Each structure stands twice: as structure tokens, then as C-alpha cells.
Structure 1
Amino acid sequence: MEIIQKIAVIGGGGRTGQYLVNQLIEKGYSLRLLLRHPEQFTIQSDLIEIVHGDVLNPEAVHALLEGCDAVLNTAGQRQDEPLVASQASANILQAMGGRPLRYIVLAGLNVDAPTDRKSEETLKATEWMRTTFPAIHNDRQKSYSILAESNAEWTMVRVPYIEFNGNRAEVKVNASDSPGAKIDAVDIAGFMIDQLTDDTWLRKAPFISN
């Protein structure tokens, strides 16, 4: 495995993304953040380099990934804006140019994988997303398909309802169904960072919860 020193972060200005950035800084990683509104970003560190741009822009993603060893993506769908998930994955894979970069991306439990055995509760949540936000649901599913059909070193982390208490707790992991109904953003960040150096869930989409 390549030694990971510099990490590209997408969605670092969001609520979950800020937990991710802070934990990466604590671990001493050099970061390059893609931000649409860098003037609104408040985390200060000499380890941070900012690229002003949008993940929907292939040129911005290419500039972001240059010289980086891994990519972490917590970007969510923006209300009343173009769909993000599938285009982001396509742009990231293209910018990798065949390099073996680890790509860890956050998604909801509504995304389906071939090995799933979802419980009634998880199926309800999936169906609610499918019927309430069909375009967003389909775009997330398309993102999974793009990754699954690629040769990239990806992991898609599927999560239930996100809390923002910042209190660490035990993280439960399951390959085929959500093991719980909620998870704190601080634990999402910790799990995503762990995947940078752990091959257990390589090219898989684990569910995690508290």
C-alpha cells in the first residue's frame, strides 16, 4: 500500500465534513480542500490548502487531486441544484487517471448493493427516499454503479440518520444491513479515516451506525 500523506477532501465545509477535517488535522495529514465558498470556511491550520471550485467541474477536481494520495468525499446534495453524487464520482475517477488512489465516499442507507439483506426498517427508509426524492435516490445509486464498475480502490460508507453531538461511541459495521438507526458525525469521520489504511471494506459499501 502507498503511504498516504496528502489527502483531497470534498465536502469539508459541511457539517460532517468539518468533523472529518478536524480529525485529519489531529492525525497530521496534509489536506487539500475543494470549497465553493472558501470565505465561509473557518477551520485554520497550516496543514490545509484550499482549491476554490466545484466538484461538478472536472478541471477543479483535477487540480484538487494533483499530488494527493487519497480522496475523502462527504458532499451532500444541494437543494434545488444539479445532482452531485454520480457526476462527482465520475469526475474523481477521471482525475485519478488510473492512479491507485483510495477513495472513501459517504452515502445514505438507501443505496442498494447486490449483497444487501436489508431489514424491514432499512427497506422502509430506502423506499421513503426512493419515492420522496427519486432523482436524488437514483443519482446516489448511479454513483455506486460507477464505482462498482471501476477498478478504483473505493469504499462507500452508508449511514442512517446523522447526529451532530460530537460524542464518540461504539461504531457497529455490517455488510448487508444498517445495524442501527443513527450515527454521530464524529464517528462517521473516524470510520472514513480508518478506511484509508484498512482493506477490510475495499471495493465494498458497509453500513455503519452507533
Structure 2
Amino acid sequence: MCIDNFLQETMIQNIKIAVLGGGGRTGKYLVNELIAKGYSVKLLLRNPENFQIKSPLIEIIHGNAIDFVAVNSLLKNCQAVISTIGQRPGEPLVAEQATKNVLEAMSRNGINRYILLAGINIDTPFDKKGPETINATNWMKSNFPIIQEDRQKSYSLLVNSSINWTLLRVPFIDFTQAKSKMGISLYDCLGNKIDAGSIATFLRLQLEDCTYYNKSPFIYNA
């Protein structure tokens, strides 16, 4: 069932969104966006004592995305999942394992909508990347090959799953609440940066729109 049809039957306040990465720089914009629109949010946080956003719409689960038990606990009683998890320097690889955990927990909890954030370096068979995007992708492959491979494996897991997923690809993030005019493309990133506020809005809108089911759009400041 498409979430936007679901919203016709259920009040937004009764919909709970599981969020991974909500304590990160981009994730905080997403959390504020969701609660501003009235969604209940269930967060998986490694250090909940450091989380500053307060709202009766927020529920916190203490844990790590590479721990299946924690992820399964996060997803209980949720209707969709959004991830803004990034790779932290010097820490275990997170993308593939987190995706495995989320997909398994979604199956166990009857959830069918997964929306997640990645960089422009992820390749898909549908891409027609221009020179700048190719250069950025190749730079990532050359300088961070293990992280790049881990992210690419995460994409493959999505493609081979039976859920409705959307993998949002973004360039350099400008950490402001600004929401500049936004470009969207399924084939190439035609801008070199994107506002964090715009990312949060786009991620939230995917709860209400089926347009990018099983697709990997680029978004950027136009």
C-alpha cells in the first residue's frame, strides 16, 4: 500500500516513523521536519544523552544500527523507515550491515517503506552521469574504496528486496535550514550542493508520494 493512500485512512499523528541516523548532522533536520508535520518519530541513538531535540512525538531506542536486536526493537509498531546514517571514521562499516538489519526487521514487523540517504557516488544501471559526477564518483572509489563498496552493496540489497525503497543521492550538504529551489534527476547530479533543509523535506515527502518507489533520485540546489 502506498503511504499517501494510507494517510487517507489514518491520521498522521497515528503514524510512527523509525529513523536511523537521527542524531547526526543531517538527521537532526529530518527529525525536526517530521515532528513539525505531526509525525511520531522513533529514533535509534547510540548516545541518547547527547540528543537535544525534545518533543512528546519522539521515542528513543538506545542502540546501534549494526545490531539487529536494536534495529528490530526500533521498527516495532512503525509504519516506515528513514535512514540518514553515514560512515564515521575509524568505525566498523555500517551501510551493508544496517541495510541487512533493516530489511530483516521490516519483514518481521510488516513494514514495506524504506527511504535512505547516500552520496552521488552510488552507481545504478540507469545513470547517465556527466563529467563532474563521474569525477566525484571516481574520487570516492579511489580514496575510500572500502566505504564505497559497502555503500554499493547496500544498494544491491535494496534492488534485490521486495520492499518499496527510495535511495536519495545528494552532493555536498550545506548544513542550513534553507530550502533553495531544488533540482531532481534520476540520471545525473546537476548541482554541486544541497541544503540540509531541502533534504529533510524531500525525505519526508517520500512518505506521502509513490513517484520514486524503487528509484535512486539525485537532488541538488538548482
Bin of the TM-score, shorter chain as denominator length? over 0.9
Q: Is the 8 A contact 1:100 1:153 kept in 2?
A: no
Q: Distance in 2 between matches of 1:165 and 1:21?
A: 14
The residue correspondences of 1:154-169 to structure 2 (distance < 5 A) are 154-169=165-180
The residue correspondences of 1:39-78 to structure 2 (distance < 5 A) are 39-78=49-88
The ranges of structure 1 where at least 4 consecutive aligned residues each deviate by more than 3 angstroms after the TM superposition are none
Tell me the alpha carbon deviations over residues 48-82 of structure 1, each in whole angstroms, 9 at most, x when there is no partner: 00000000000000000000000010010011011
Which of 90, 107, 110 is the matching residue for 1:97?
A: 107
Deviation at 1:123, TM superposition (A): 0.1
Counterpart AA for 2:200:
A
Structure 2 residue ranges without an equivalent (≥5): none
Q: Is the 8 A contact 1:12 1:20 kept in 2?
A: yes
**2:27 — aligned with what?**
17
Tell me the alpha carbon deviations over residues 127-159 of structure 1, each in whole angstroms, 9 at most, x when there is no partner: 000000000000010000000010011000000
TM-score, normalised with respect to structure 1: 0.98
How many residue pairs align between the two structures?
210
Q: Distance in 2 between matches of 1:186 and 1:172?
A: 14
Which of 185, 190, 194 is the matching residue for 2:196?
A: 185
Any idea what SS the aligned residue of 2:26 has?
helix
Any idea what SS the aligned residue of 1:89 has?
helix
CA RMSD after TM alignment: 1.0
Any idea what SS the aligned residue of 1:76 has?
coil
Any idea what SS the aligned residue of 1:204 has?
coil
Counterpart AA for 1:202:
Y
Q: Is the 8 A contact 2:78 2:111 kept in 1?
A: no
TM-score, normalised with respect to structure 2: 0.93
Deviation at 1:100, TM superposition (A): 4.0
Q: Distance in 2 between matches of 1:186 and 1:156?
A: 17
**1:34 — aligned with what?**
44
Q: Is the 8 A contact 1:34 1:51 kept in 2?
A: yes
Identity of aligned pairs, percent? 54
Q: Is the 8 A contact 1:73 1:106 kept in 2?
A: yes
Deviation at 1:171, TM superposition (A): 1.3
Any idea what SS the aligned residue of 2:167 has?
strand
